Copies of this chain bind each other. A is one copy, B any other.
Amino acid sequence: MSVEFLGDWRRTHYSSVVTPDLDGVEVTVFGWIQDIRDHGNIIFLTLSDKEGLIQITGTRRNTPPEVMEKMKSLSRQSAIGVKGVVSARVEAPRGVEVIPREIKVLGLASHPLPLDPTGRVHAEIDVRLDARILDLRRPEPRAIFKVRHKVVSAIREYLDEQGFIEVHTPKIIATAAEGGAALFPVDYFNSRAYLAQSPELYKEELITVFEKVYEIGTYFRAEESHTRRHLNEFISVDVEEAFVDYGDVMKLQEDLLAYVLRKLSDECMDQLNILKVNLPKIVLPLKRYKYSEIVDQLNKNGYRLEWGEDLSTSAYRVLGKIHRNEFYFIIDWPTETRPFYVKPKGDSSQTCEAFDLMYEWLEITSGGSRVDRKEQMVERLRKQGLDPANFEFHLKTYDYGMPPHAGWGLGLDRLLMALLRIGNIREVVLFPRDRFRLTP
């Protein structure tokens, strides 16, 4: 079978708009063959396009013989175009079918395929990721990425509405300034540079110009840990605002979450049904647990933790059991557990104005009030073993009038995991990058 040219064929209808009231109308549809059932005098071909499925029904009586021949010999997942007439028929799926007059073969699939994109045969995640494009044609991944698109656009809508401006900060940076965290080195002409792990310092500087900024961008973390909730390349939603503190941006975070949930329940019910998930329910304001209360909760539940220690994965797992189906904040962390730019509390420098937004055991967002005085910044850098000289450009901006400010970074991939109750971050990323996977 040979492939044909598109020529002057153009789509007139997507599957979703081919409804029984178009009975008798000629349409042109495009898509991928999901299934073919050949009953001799009648052939049913299910065509899949970005909006759903449509049945193409060839019959010996109504369909030209060469079209019947073509239908028989096509391979599943081939891309085709179909010109035909809509027929309302109660027995057909969705009460409608297309009687083909002409079929164009636009891209042939070669069998055997590495996996079955109808999803009838289970495949392990690595097999699926190796043939990711075919895997994505299953209904569930398609639904996940439509939801993801909606989440991102809802976030932008909300932040734009609140007067935030979207910015683009550099992803290649000169120094591994933030120390502790592992950065990927880049050969930048004749010097060594690094991939940014967050827009933190840039966004803090930019609030002295635009007051309310956000960025949705790709960041990189060279951590070796290989888990179900970490990737080495990820999308972060970063927000920063002037003249506010962490309480204000926590409110912004929870209002945004409520907005996203509302948008999804208004506009993504089809996708949520395919994924068989009910959205998490939230009541605002979300609970705010102090770190010290979390320590108590853990100790009461048999997990020993001393005040001042950071939470380990196993501590988070216990928390997840205590806070089932719950979005909540953990606030007022020990200063030592947080990066140098988080502001210690006025009354006690032992704790700082930091928060995490959690869903069960998963950290979604980290944020806080920021250090806004140069001397305190220099002191904090030194305490964390960092050299203030490496922060020359950033420290200079403190001489230009640095007001109080606060912000947060939200892991977009993590948020998707929480909203859709998905256990592995690789399910919500098109082409995930981890220590062992750089392809496809």
* Shortest Cβ gap from A192 to chain B (Å): 10
- Report yes or no: B78 in contact with A109, Cβ–Cβ below 8 A: no
Closest residue of B by beta carbon distance from A29: B243
**Distance of A271 from chain B, by nearest CB (Å):** 12
Hey, which chain B residues are within 8 Å of A431, CB to CB?
A: 169-170, 202
Is A6 engaged at the interface, CB distance under 8 Å to the other chain?
yes
Residues of B within 8 A of A131 (CB): 396
Report A375-420 residues with CB < 8 Å from chain B CB: 393-394, 396-404
Residue among A32, A107, A195 having the largest count of chain B Cβ atoms under 10 Å: A107
Q: Check A188–B193 contact: CB distance below 8 A.
A: no
Known: A133-B400, A403-B107, A430-B168. A184 touches B184 (CB 8 A): no
Known: A168-B218, A233-B172. A189 touches B224 (CB 8 A): yes
Residues of B within 8 A of A205 (CB): 133, 440
Decide if A30 touches B243 in the complex (CB within 8 Å). Answer: yes
Write the nearest CB–CB distance from A219 to chain B, whole angstroms.
9
> B149–A242 contact, CB under 8 A?
no
Q: Which residues of B contact A101 (CB under 8 A)?
A: none
User: Do the beta carbons of A137 and B49 come within 8 Å of each other?
Assistant: no
State whether A79 touches B233 (Cβ < 8 A). no
Please tell me if A110 contacts chain B, counting CB pairs below 8 Å. Answer: yes
Taken residue by residue from 240 to 258, chain A's Cβ proximity to chain B (1 for < 8 Å, 0 otherwise) reads as 0011110010000000000
A259 to B79 CA separation, bound complex (whole angstroms): 32
In the complex, are the beta carbons of A372 and B218 less than 8 A apart? no
Contact B402 A79 (CB under 8 A): yes
Q: How far is the CB of A103 from chain B (nearest CB, A)?
A: 13
Is there an interface contact between B401 and A78, defined as CB atoms closer than 8 Å? yes
Q: Which listed segment binds B: A209-217, A278-286, A298-306? A: A209-217
How many Å lie between the Cα of A435 and that of B189 in the bound state?
7
A33–B403 Cα distance when bound, in Å, is 12
B49 near A211: Cβ-Cβ < 8 Å: yes
Give the A interface residue count (CB, 8 A): 98
Residues 73-88 of A, flagged 1 when their CB comes within 8 A of B and 0 if not, give: 0000111010000000
User: Is the Cβ of A235 less than 8 Å from the Cβ of B403?
Assistant: no
- Nearest B residue to A170 via CB reads B431
Give the interface segment out of A35-43, A54-62, A159-167, A309-317. Answer: A159-167
Q: In the complex, are the beta carbons of A210 and B400 less than 8 A apart?
A: no
| A50 pairs with B433, CB closer than 8 A | no
Chain B residues within an 8 Å CB radius of A134: 400
In the complex, whether A228 has a CB less than 8 A from a CB of chain B is: no
A255 to nearest B CB, angstroms?
Answer: 16
Q: For the complex formed, measure the closest distance between the CB of A189 and the CB atoms of chain B, giving whole angstroms.
A: 6
What 0/1 readout, one digit per residue, does chain A (4-31) give for beta carbons within 8 Å of chain B? 0110011100000000000000000010
CA distance A5 to B113 in the complex (A): 64
Q: Do the beta carbons of B169 and A401 come within 8 Å of each other?
A: no
- Most chain B beta-carbon contacts within 10 A, residue among A202, A211, A393, A401: A401
Which residues of chain A from 89 to 119 have a CB within 8 Å of any chain B CB?
106-110, 113
Residue numbers in B under 8 Å from A322 (CB-CB): none
A–B complex contacts, Cβ < 8 Å, 12 sampled: A5-B404, A30-B242, A78-B401, A107-B401, A107-B402, A136-B206, A137-B209, A168-B430, A174-B438, A217-B217, A218-B218, A393-B440
Residues of A within 8 A of B (CB): 3, 5-6, 9-11, 30, 32-33, 49-50, 77-79, 81, 106-110, 113, 131, 133-134, 136-137, 141-142, 145-146, 149, 152-153, 156, 160, 163, 165-174, 184-189, 191, 193, 195, 202, 205-206, 208-212, 217-218, 220, 222, 224, 232-233, 235, 242-245, 248, 346, 372-373, 393-394, 396-404, 429-431, 433, 435, 438-440
- A-B complex: 9 closest residue pairs judged by Cβ atoms: A79-B403, A393-B440, A110-B399, A174-B438, A50-B211, A79-B401, A109-B401, A107-B402, A6-B404
